[in-house]
Amino acid sequence: MSGHSVTEPSNRQKWISGLLVITYAVITIMPLLWIIATGFKSPEDAISYPPKVVFEPSVEGYVNLFTARTRVTPSMEETLPPPDTWYEQIARESGTVIVGPSRYGQRFLNSVIIGFGSTFLSIFFGTLAAYAFSRFRVPIKDDLLFFILSTRMMPPIAVAIPIFLMFRQLGLNDTHLGMILLYTAVNLSLSVWLLKGFIDEIPLEYEEAALIDGYTRFQAFYKVVLPQAATGIASTAIFCLIFAWNEYAFAVLLTSGTAQTAPPFIPTIIGVGGKDWPAVAAGATLFLIPVMIFTILLRKHLLRGITFGAVRK
Amino acid sequence: MAQIIIKNLRKDFGDFTAVKASSFTIEDGEFFMLLGPSGCGKTTTLRMIAGLEFPTSGEIYIDGEEVSKKRASQRDIAFVFQMFALYPHMNVRQNISYPLKSQGMPKAQIKAKVAEVARVLGIEDILSKPVGGLSGGDRQRVALGRAIVREPKAFMMDEPLGALDAEFREHMSKELRALHDRIGATTVYVTHDQLEAMQMGDKIVVMNHGSVEQFGVPQQIYDWPATMFVAEFIGSPSMNFLHFNGEVAKGDTQVSFNDQSFDIPEQLQAATGDLAFGVRPEHVSLDETNPYKGEVSAVEYLGTTQIVTIDSANGVLKARVSSAQAVSVGQNVGLAFNPRTISIFDTSSGMALLSEANKGVLDHG
């Protein structure tokens, strides 16, 4: 028997804790809802005061997000042929004409490549390193582990200038590879430490059984340890992706064109024909979706990952 | 099927020596027990035979081949772990067929083999179940199935019954022994349970502090322990020691202490100083007429027998006597010892002195 007793919470306790959870959920979800709503407002509604909670939905923000437009005078507009698409129509209504696609799609794709690429590498190297630290006698193991952790003790941006100079020297400025390597380097300490914890929890006997059964050390790692570590890998991957996906400071400093990710791009939308808050909000909303999908896909593992080791199997 | 020879095996972990200079031979087809208290080096020895640890020095021969530097996968040995170590992400069938897959065996043949093993172990009905929900006994059988399916040269078992509850242990130990007798494979079995070792083993090695204390068939080890450690570790209650300061000479058939003489087997080794007169509880009898006296301090009733604890001038001893005999606490009793089974120990070295009775057991090592 354990020292403390576990009793069913009373109705009042349930009621209070339920209220706390709901309050917290509302507080955290409000800004998110506000952003999503702003994406569907007209530019006037977006900045109206007092703020409009009920408004006429419009997709103008999304049209503005994906298109490059130019302002035309009403007299000039009359010389143009009538709009042939629905989005052209929307642009005309605010006195602009579409001159081409915006760079949002491409920046978004950059984020996907860099975010998932660096997550993959962080997990790949992190798993191998964590396995080695967990299972083998590594000389000065504790010092190495502390060194790896210490890279996380300062804000990564503190080394931005040296990295900028190094990247310029190596020709990695504004390249996908450069950003993937950078985010991998920042994430590795997290992934090595998290994954080591997970691998430590996997009993050695499984691998030993595989070794006895005629498999090599690598086969035992690949076929027996990896499936067992899936939970840890999934939750670590989510943390790594969220960091790489949302990173702003390095991205502003090191990318400007071909490899620019969405976070530094979204603010630049402001300014094309006045403060276009609905377009910014639309960009932010769409930007949330991949991480959301990734997290939902792996949420089962995430929950188990966070409580890992707490419950004896 | 193979003979296993261990020569001067040693294992150091940093400054700690887990196994020091162990040597013994396991004959082909033997059910061999490595017995000792926890931390005695028995599991390390087993792991070295299997190839999960590499010895610091010494040799291991399996089937005449020196394997101490070979990897586990190259030794053709099966291992049953205490916690079974069934692959949790596979079902029963996949677990059993896993060692065959590594050999590149064709699928049809694997299927036939697994079916045969499942029939032998009586687990045909659970083949497609995940291993997570299995009972302890079924897990045990699956672990055995994974071991026997590839017909290895030898089986290593690391306290395989340790994780089962007492009731089921009994049943499973019989099943294990029967399985061994049917397959006839050399089996090395680690246990800390002396009863299990005596029940199941053809031969027992008793280890303590990394050294082999004694090695032989169960009855020899029980009757003629080579050291005081073995005498105490084996048997429940353990052997009684009556401590005295005296001497025995070569050819003596009697030993005296506390102004009494006791018959003993003819001694082949002389010793003086602190000695111990070792006698098993079942060879102590209570007899009013006997001049060597003690006072009964406790009586434990065990059904057909009772264990009587007696304070004597040379220490506390326990006697196993018939429950029919009336004994009560505080009673003064005379003690007699069956002379055929007495061992005299040199307390300073802990070794048994050689006698006409134990020389056959102790001579060979």
Q: How much is the pLDDT for A271?
A: 63
B313-327 pLDDT, tens digit per residue, is 899 999 999 999 989
With tokens 């590795």, the residue in question is A188
Q: What pLDDT, on the 0 to 100 scale, is given for residue A1?
A: 41
Interchain CB distance below 8 Å, B85 and A208 = yes
The tokens describing A84, both together, are 């042939």
Average pLDDT over residues B289-308: 91
% of chain B exceeding 70 in pLDDT:
99
Omega of the bond leading into A267 within 30 degrees of 0 (cis): no
Q: What percent of chain B shows pLDDT beyond 90?
A: 55
Q: How far is A219 from chain B (nearest CA, A)?
A: 10
What pLDDT, on the 0 to 100 scale, is given for residue B360?
A: 81
The predicted structure's pLDDT at residue B43: 92
Question: Residue B160 in contact with residue B176, Cβ under 8 Å?
Answer: yes
Task: Report the pLDDT value the prediction gives residue B364, as an integer from 0 to 100.
Answer: 53
* Nearest chain B Cα distance for residue A216, angstroms: 7
CA separation for the pair A187, A126 (Å, rounded): 9
Output A306 or B168, whichever has higher pLDDT.
Answer: B168
Q: How does DSSP classify residue B76?
A: -
Residue A272 binned pLDDT confidence (cut-offs 50, 70, 90): low
Q: How confident is the model at residue A2 (pLDDT cuts 50, 70, 90)?
A: very low
d(CA B305, CA B318): 12
Average pLDDT taken over every residue of chain B: 90
Q: How far is A299 from chain B (nearest CA, A)?
A: 20
Which chain B residues are within 8 Å of A208, Cβ to Cβ? 52, 72, 79, 81, 85
Contacts of B71 in chain A (CB under 8 A): 211
Residues of A in contact with B50 (CB under 8 A): 212
Question: B89 vs A203: CB contact, 8 Å cut-off?
Answer: no
* Contact across the interface for A206 and B87, Cβ inside 8 Å: yes
Residues 6+ apart with CB under 8 A from B106: none
Shortest CA distance to A287 belongs to which of A59, A105, A25, A29?
A105
Reported as a single tens digit per residue, the pLDDT across B202-244 is: 999 999 999 999 989 999 999 999 999 999 999 889 999 999 9
**pLDDT higher than 90, residue B74:** no
CA of A70 vs chain B CAs: smallest distance (Å): 59
Report the largest interatomic distance among the alpha carbons of chain B, rounded to a whole angstrom: 78
pLDDT score, position A87: 86
Cβ neighbours of B72 in A, within 8 Å:
208, 211-212
CA B174/CA B200 separation, integer angstroms = 8
pLDDT for the residue numbered B189? 94
Dihedral sign for Cα B146, B151, B153, B155, please.
Answer: positive
Per-residue pLDDT band at A230 (split at 50, 70, 90): confident
Contact between B278 and B352 under an 8 Å Cβ cutoff? The reply is yes
Query: What is the rounded average pLDDT for all residues in chain A?
Result: 87
Is the pLDDT score of A311 beyond 50? no
Of B98-102, B162-166, B183-187, B208-212, the least confident = B162-166
Question: Which residue ranges form the domains of chain A, and what is each CATH number?
Answer: 61-102 (no CATH), 105-306 (1.10.3720.10)
Q: Which residues of A touch B (CB under 8 A)?
A: 203, 205-206, 208-216, 219, 224, 227-228
Per CATH, the number for B230-362 is 2.40.50.140
pLDDT at B145 over 70: yes
Q: How near does any CA of chain A get to the CA of B182, in Å?
A: 22
User: Nearest CB to A215: which of B73, B79, B88?
Assistant: B73
Nearest to A211 among B72, B89, B150 (CB): B72
Contact state of A213 with B51 under an 8 Å Cβ cutoff: no
> How high is the pLDDT of residue A241?
94
Summarize the confidence of residues A160-186 as an average pLDDT.
Answer: 93
Confidence of residue A309 (pLDDT cuts 50, 70, 90): very low
Contacts of B188 in chain A (CB under 8 A): none
pLDDT of residue A310: 43
> For the ranges A298-307, B235-244, B354-363, which has the lowest average pLDDT?
A298-307
pLDDT at res. A313: 39
- pTM, full prediction: 0.79
Closest residue, chain A, to B154 (C-alpha)? A212
Best to test chain A binding among B84, B87, B131, B148 (most A CBs inside 10 Å): B87
Distance between CA atoms of residues B300 and B323, nearest Å:
10
CA distance A274 to B331: 110
Return the closest-CA partner of residue A110 out of A264, A238, A242, A253: A264
Residue B269 carries which DSSP code? S
Over residues B177-197, the pLDDT tens digits come to 888 888 888 999 999 999 889
Task: Tell me what pLDDT residue A192 has.
Answer: 95
A210 to B79: CB separation less than 8 angstroms, yes or no: no
Q: Report whether B200 contacts B176 (CB < 8 A).
A: yes
Q: To probe the interface with B, which of A202, A206, A208, A213 has the most B CB atoms within 10 Å?
A: A213
Task: Name the CATH superfamily, with its identifier, for domain B4-223.
Answer: P-loop containing nucleotide triphosphate hydrolases (3.40.50.300)
pLDDT tens profile B286-295:
988 888 889 9
pLDDT at B236: 86
Compute the distance between CA of residue B335 and CA of residue A195 in angstroms, rounded to an integer: 66
The pLDDT of residue A304: 63
Q: Which residues of B touch A215 (CB under 8 A)?
A: 73, 102
Chain A, chain B: beta-carbon pairs less than 8 Å apart: 54
- Of residues B73, B77, B88, nearest to A228 (C-beta): B88
Chain A: residue nearest B84 by CA? A205
